[in-house]
Structure 1
């Protein structure tokens, strides 16, 4: 039988990091394993055992940090939405111009596809597996993020910068859908980088909104 000093996960469920046990690194390893598996195989086809095996940990370590597989899914989505809301709120506070706000929000959304591709993929495809309070929490944060986009679009319409024939909510849903859907076809090694794609999205969207 292996001892803790022989590598792998100790029987306590605490991984033996080279410089000592680190709860945050243990949690991070579990999150990263779940991200990889949920993106590749989907939530349904991923087992708890696969998550802990991918992290080099045990179920004991898993249950020290998470209540269930659904809890991991919720925390992945929750943390990503928190980061997007924080960045989008900073954009709103930095510039009152609805055109520049929307331009920055589009770049933020597409930047997330590049820097957090697994999070975006999982959010788009796997959030249906959330239930109860977890689902309500994610839905509320999703609505909060959408409202930051809507605020820029609606102010543009109200001030005459954007066409008054548009319905703010419909335009907002279209913009968010375009940006979020990029995870399905964007490739980091493709001909265009994410900044160049963002330039084209901004041109397409903003020109379509203007009178």
Structure 2
């Protein structure tokens, strides 16, 4: 099948439309973070992006579609910047460290508004939208569960239900956006390393914990 390359005004128009849609997602993420999805209107989003409400509907069919788009955008970022970068690390302990570090830095540093919407507004999704987002979240949960199982098989961590460890870790990291401020006393890299120490300190077998202190990766940024 021959692929026809798009050039000229048509290509430029498509690019402008995609850029505008991204701007709408980003503005809506700010609005939903500040006021909550249920308390926000499409008029609020239109005002935030300096468009008319009719202009918004030219790009987005409904408020529910807008929320799904933001959450999909947030999951794209998460998978690209965290999961895709760590899932092929062969050493399960280093994989877990890299996962904690990458996830925490995403929450505190990169695309915080979209990530916050993913964390806060999942309950507002319904039907197929909710199913599709939950399917993507389950991929991460399965990845963490398997990492903890592998660590147990290698006797690197204590015997603990992997599901408990997974959701304890997710709760610890995902709550960070409630209290962390970028201009505060702590750097996000310091928080990431503290989380690694705290979490692994409760999981590692005593012999492995001693080895961890000598890990060349275990150092301040």
**Both proteins in one fold, TM over 0.5:** yes
Gaps of 5+ in 1: 1-18
Q: 1:187: how far off?
A: 0.5
Deviation sequence 1:14-70 (CA, Å, 0-9, x none)? xxxxx9892122112211210111000000111101111211112333223212111
Q: 1:120: how far off?
A: 2.5
Partner of 1:11: none
Q: Contact between 2:26 and 2:114, CA under 8 Å: does it hold in 1?
A: no
Residue 100 of structure 1 aligns to a residue in which SS? helix
Q: 1:174: how far off?
A: 0.4
Q: 1:121: how far off?
A: 1.9
Q: 1:198: how far off?
A: 0.3
Gaps of 5+ in 2: 1-11, 206-221
Q: Contact between 2:43 and 2:53, CA under 8 Å: does it hold in 1?
A: yes
RMSD: 1.7
Q: 1:85: how far off?
A: 2.4
Given the two structures, how large is their TM-score scaled by the length of structure 1?
Answer: 0.85
Partner of 2:59: 65
Q: Contact between 2:73 and 2:114, CA under 8 Å: does it hold in 1?
A: no
Partner of 1:124: 119
Residue 40 of structure 2 aligns to a residue in which SS? coil
Name the CA distance, whole Å, in 1 between partners of 2:77 and 2:120.
19
Partner of 1:157: 152
Moved over 3 A (4+): none
Partner of 1:24: 18
Given the two structures, how large is their TM-score scaled by the length of structure 2?
Answer: 0.81
Residue 25 of structure 1 aligns to a residue in which SS? helix
Which of 99, 102, 105 is residue 99 of structure 2 equivalent to? Answer: 105
User: How many equivalent residue pairs?
Assistant: 191
Name the CA distance, whole Å, in 1 between partners of 2:154 and 2:25.
44
Deviation sequence 1:80-118 (CA, Å, 0-9, x none)? 11222233133121x211111011110111111121221
Pair 1:209 & 2:203 matched: yes
Q: Contact between 1:99 and 1:206, CA under 8 Å: does it hold in 2?
A: no
Q: Contact between 1:35 and 1:118, CA under 8 Å: does it hold in 2?
A: yes
Residue 22 of structure 1 aligns to a residue in which SS? helix
Name the CA distance, whole Å, in 2 between partners of 1:168 and 1:175.
11
Name the CA distance, whole Å, in 2 between partners of 1:28 and 1:85.
18
Partner of 1:145: 140
